[in-house]
Amino acid sequence: MKRYPWVFVSLCLVGFLGRLSYEMARSPLSPLLAKQLGAPSVVIGLIVASVTISGVFVKLPSGALSDQFGFRRLLVAGTVVKMVGPFLYLPVNAFVELIPIRLFHGLSTALYAPAASAWVASMGSENRAHRLGIYSAAENFGILLGPFLGGVILFATTDNFRLAFLVSGLIGTLAFVVILTVPTDQHRPAERPDYSAIVQKLRKGIGEIISTRAIVITSIMESAMFLGVGTIQAFLPLYAVHVHLNTLHIGFLFGMLGVTSIGGRPIMGTVSDRIGRQLVILFGLLCCVVALLLIPHTVSFVLLLVLSAIFGLGWGSVTPSTTALIADLCKESQLGSAMGVFGSIWDVGHATGPILAGVLIGFWSFAPAFSVIAAVILLGALLFAFTVRDPATAEPAGRLARGT
């Protein structure tokens, strides 16, 4: 059995606690609270997407800054927002008030995620996808329990949103306490930094990453998948209500999604270490497409559980493999910049998904909206399949051709 240092274990613990707090607020609390306050579907999509809009603009520079100032500083800043954010929902009385709160709350993941992924990836190239899979599974254990816990609290308290957000805030506070126990990483300048030089390095690092076609296309493919993730997070609760399921059922749907995502990430991460990233990624994308196409035609709770499981397996297959592929494609010194670019591009999809789905549902219904999102994911899969070469499989082929 592999043994990992305390830094890795604590990063997994903070990832779990931070996601548990954050995902309670994301779904089902935010869309159901917005609906209770009278928000139309288009605005509900915007409210859910607001946290991700922050990531679009902040993840890229935060990842690059972690290359210069060290990973831990960005992690502490992110967990401060995870701690404070949920308490801001407590006095809300109108749905428009949710938008600025969600924008602020989104800074938590935008600051934390690129640095955390880069720190885990920088612990060595051996078993990198497996390690990232374990870290992703820890985060997704929070994603599993967050919506489930939120749904249980709402069901048990007859929709007491304030109590649910209070619990979310207390969990975020615990995440902040844990991150303070993590020792300062060695990935930082020894002398007082020259800020003009830092800006030049940031621009150069980001420019080199953006000019790497394989990284950009992989990020676009992940962004396409996150159109579906954002759509599910925003509108699966509302679809469940539409087919007369209650908040406890909603919690179980997201719980099942999380279970397969958690179970899939370390396993599929290990598979991608052995057979290459591309096949695992394409399998996961296909799972997401199938689930999205079938969900809006399903009214049975049991069948919705199955489709949630399929979507979770797809998500759990794609993300650790794409994260590892990005790390494979970039220089070690640019991991933070690469993860920042990767995160910013995928956040475009994550933010666009709820907004686009909200518009489509408002004009048509759930089925056409989910079908359009599925079609975009399929196009992203085709683009990735025909344009990106997997270094893990291309290198042995190249050596064979050279006779080495």
- Domain ranges in the chain are 7-182+199-386
Q: What share of the chain is helix, strand, coil (3-state, %, to 5)?
A: 85, 0, 15
**Ranges of H-type helices in 211-246:** 213-242
Give the chain's count of helices (H) and strands (E). Answer: 16, 0
Taking the CA atoms of 131, 136, 142 and 145 in sequence, report the sign of the dihedral they define. negative
Q: Which two tokens stand for residue 229?
A: 């993730």
Report the pLDDT value the prediction gives residue 401, as an integer from 0 to 100.
36
- Distance from C-alpha of 100 to C-alpha of 47, rounded to nearest angstrom: 9
- Distance from C-alpha of 238 to C-alpha of 192, rounded to nearest angstrom: 52
- Compute the CA torsion angle 390, 312, 48, 15 (nearest 10 deg): -80
Q: In 3D, which of 327, 263, 281 has the Cα closest to residue 114?
A: 327
- Distance from C-alpha of 51 to C-alpha of 100, rounded to nearest angstrom: 9
- Distance from C-alpha of 48 to C-alpha of 34, rounded to nearest angstrom: 9
Report the pLDDT value the prediction gives residue 331, as an integer from 0 to 100.
62
Q: Provide the greatest CA pair distance for the chain.
A: 70
Q: In 3D, which of 176, 126, 160, 125 has the Cα closest to residue 21?
A: 176
Q: What is the mean pLDDT of each run of 10 residues along the chain (404 residues)?
A: 70 93 90 93 92 78 71 90 96 95 91 83 73 80 86 93 96 95 63 56 61 82 93 94 94 89 82 87 96 97 97 92 82 62 76 92 93 96 90 51 37
Whole-model pTM over 0.85? no
Within a 13 Å sphere around the CA of 403, how many CA atoms are in the beta-carbon half?
0
Question: Is-contact 337 192, C-beta < 8 A?
Answer: no
- Distance from C-alpha of 49 to C-alpha of 353, rounded to nearest angstrom: 8
Residue 142 zone, left/alpha/beta (φ > 0; ψ -120 to 50; rest) = alpha
Question: Is-contact 254 376, C-beta < 8 A?
Answer: no
CA angle 215, 139, 69 (to 5 degrees): 60
For every residue of 281-345, DSSP letters joined together read: HHHHHHHHHHHHHHGGG---HHHHHHHHHHHHHHHHHHHHHHHHHHHHHS-GGGHHHHHHHHHHH
Contacts of 267 (CB under 8 A, 6+ apart): 133
Report the pLDDT value the prediction gives residue 403, as an integer from 0 to 100.
39
> Residue 28, preceding bond cis, omega within 30 degrees?
yes
CATH class of 7-182+199-386: mainly alpha
For every residue of 91-144, DSSP letters joined together read: T--SGGGHHHHHHHHTHHHHHHHHHHHHHHHTT-STTHHHHHHHHHHHHHHHHH
- Distance from C-alpha of 257 to C-alpha of 312, rounded to nearest angstrom: 4
- Distance from C-alpha of 249 to C-alpha of 240, rounded to nearest angstrom: 8
> Rg for the chain (alpha carbons), in Å?
20
Question: Is-contact 333 209, C-beta < 8 A?
Answer: no
Residue 157 carries which DSSP code?
A: T
Report the pLDDT value the prediction gives residue 221, as an integer from 0 to 100.
93
The secondary structure element, H or E, covering residue 70 is none
Q: In 3D, which of 366, 354, 356 has the Cα closest to residue 31?
A: 354
CA distances from 125 to 138, 176, 375 (A): 20, 29, 34
